[in-house]
Amino acid sequence: MEFGALIIAGIALLAVFLFFYLVPVPLWITALFSGVNVALTSLIGMRFRRIPPAKIVNPMIKAFKAGIPVETAKLEAQYLAGGNVDRVVDALIAADKAGIKLNFDRAAAIDLAGRDVLEAVRLSVNPKVITSPMVAGMAKDGIQLLATARITVRANIDRLVGGAGEETIVARVGEGIVASIGQSEDHKQVLEQPDRISKTVLAKGLDAGTAFEILSVDIAEVDVGKNIGAQLRTDQAEADKKIAQAKAEERRAMAVAVEQENAALVEAMRAKLVEAQAAVPMALAEALRSGRMGVMDYYQLKNIEADTDMRESISKASGGGTTDGGAGGSQR
pLDDT at residue 187 greater than cutoff 50: yes
Is 86 found in the same domain as 9? yes
Mean pLDDT in residue range 236-249: 89
Q: Based on the fold, state whether residues 203 and 180 are members of the same structural domain.
A: yes
Spatial separation of the C-alpha atoms in residues 315 and 238, rounded to whole Å:
61
For the segment 255-310, what is each residue's pLDDT rounded down to a tens digit? 999 889 999 998 889 888 888 878 878 887 877 778 777 777 777 877 887 888 88
Q: What is the pLDDT of residue 330?
A: 40
Dist. CA 1–CA 95, nearest whole Å: 65
Statement: residue 176 has pLDDT above 80: yes
The predicted model gives 197-202 an average pLDDT of: 81
pLDDT class for 68, splitting at 50, 70, 90?
Answer: confident
Domain boundary at 188, 207, 231, which?
231
Read off the pLDDT of each residue in 90-96 and give the average, rounded to a whole number.
Answer: 90
pTM of the model: 0.56
Within a domain: 286: no
- The answer as to whether 271 is a domain residue is no
pLDDT in tens, 112-169: 888 888 888 888 888 888 888 888 888 887 888 888 888 888 888 888 877 888 888 8
Residue 118 shares a structural domain with residue 174: no
Domain span including residue 164: 128-231
pLDDT interval class at 5 (50, 70, 90):
low
Number of domains in the chain: 2
Q: What is the 3-state secondary structure (H, E, C) of 240-286?
A: HHHHHHHHHHHHHHHHHHHHHHHHHHHHHHHHHHHHHHHHHHHHHHH
- DSSP-derived secondary structure letter, 134: P
- Indicate if 86 and 103 belong to the same structural domain: yes
193, 86: one domain: no
pLDDT at position 277 is: 78
Higher pLDDT, 62 or 46: 62
Among 59, 94, 125, the domain-final residue is 125
pLDDT grade, residue 323 (50/70/90)?
very low
Q: Are 54 and 157 found together in one domain?
A: no
Residue 91 lies in a domain: yes
C-alpha dist (Å) from residue 278 to 195, 286, 291, 314: 98, 13, 21, 27
Domain ends where: 202, 231, 260? 231
Residue 215 lies in a domain: yes
